[in-house]
Chain A
Amino acid sequence: MSGNNKAFLELEFPVAAMDFVRAGRVASQIKRALEQAGMPAGVVRRAAIAAYEAEMNIVIHSHGGVMRARIAPSLVEIEAEDWGPGIPDIELAMQEGYSTAPREILEMGFGAGMGLPNMRKCADRLDIRSEVGKGTQVVVSIFNAEPLEARA
């Protein structure tokens, strides 16, 4: 990030695997931070949805991870990094409806195979890096067309 894309706020939150009691809180906190930063409603909404899906992916599919949000006047980056099995075939995982979620997850209303596709829809840029047996890193970038006033 540089210039108008230089982050004035960076947040980091741990996310525990299979913790469905706390899951969703990180996305909620990121949403609040974006609102407080004065980001336009559309940017907040897209970032919050992407963050929610990313958080759920860590909870459901990994051994735990961390979520980061970087907020700059004209850019929001949501980063999800996890330790876990990784994604063997990213292209397949990006297909709507493709899911590897176990049955008990489906019963909770997840596992529709829409997580990554939803993130792609919300993102202006989506970068996914994954190594089987190690983990996955997803970065969602959302540009703010109405940059915030320059901040110190």
Chain B
Amino acid sequence: MTLAEVQRILEAEVLCGHEHLGASVEVAFGSDLLSDSLAFARPRSLLLTGLTNPQVIWAAEVIEVTAIVFVRGKRPSRDLVKLAEEKGIPLMVTPKLLFDSCGLLYQAGLRGTLDHERKQ
């Protein structure tokens, strides 16, 4: 699924990384806990979270996520967006809740990280 599709499905606003919307994600992970994201998210995945402190970007870099969607309309600070721009990580914000966002993406064919691993 491309990031442009993610944006359309979640009616999300792109905060940075417009030029990467053609990139695609294979799997997604949703959590408000960074350690769980580190444990379960996978490279080239989409991270959905309600956390907006800069730690999210540092963790995302370590995990090598393709893009981050902030749920529940949570808007990160300008500094966080700047950091994401430097790291080349596209950011979006959706007014939808975490559960609803995940449900919509799942319905559209995106799968979870563990589902994906079982198939391989």
Contacts and interface: CB of A to CB of B under 8 A. Distances in A.
Interface stretch (A16-24, A125-133, A134-142): A16-24
A28 B58 contact: yes
A27 B63 CA distance: 11
Contact of B35 (A25, A31, A51, A53): A53
B33 A24 contact: no
A52 B33 contact: no
Interface stretch (B13-21, B48-56, B98-106, B110-118): B48-56
A113 B36 CA distance: 9
A53 B38 CA distance: 9
B39 to A, nearest CB: 5
Interface residue tally on B, bucketed by range = 20 to 34
Contact of B62 (A20, A27, A110): A27
B11 interface: no
Interface in A49-101: 49, 51-53, 56
Given A20-B53, A108-B53, A109-B55, A28 B38 contact: no
B62 A109 contact: no
Interface of B: 32-36, 38-39, 43, 49, 51, 53-59, 61-64
Given A48-B62, A49-B63, A109-B33, A118 B38 contact: yes
A13 to B, nearest CB: 14
A52 B53 contact: no
Contact of B39 (A28, A45, A48, A118): A118
A24 B39 contact: no
B62 A52 contact: yes
Nearest to B79: A21
A52 B36 contact: no
A112 B61 contact: no
Contacts of B61: 24, 28, 31
A38 to B, nearest CB: 17
Contacts of A112: 33-36
B51 A109 contact: yes
Contacts of B63: 45, 49
Leading 8 A-B pairs by shortest Cβ distance: A24-B58, A114-B35, A109-B51, A112-B33, A109-B34, A112-B35, A48-B62, A52-B62
Contacts of B59: 24, 52
Contact of A118 (B35, B51, B57): B35
A24 B35 contact: no
Contacts of A53: 35, 38
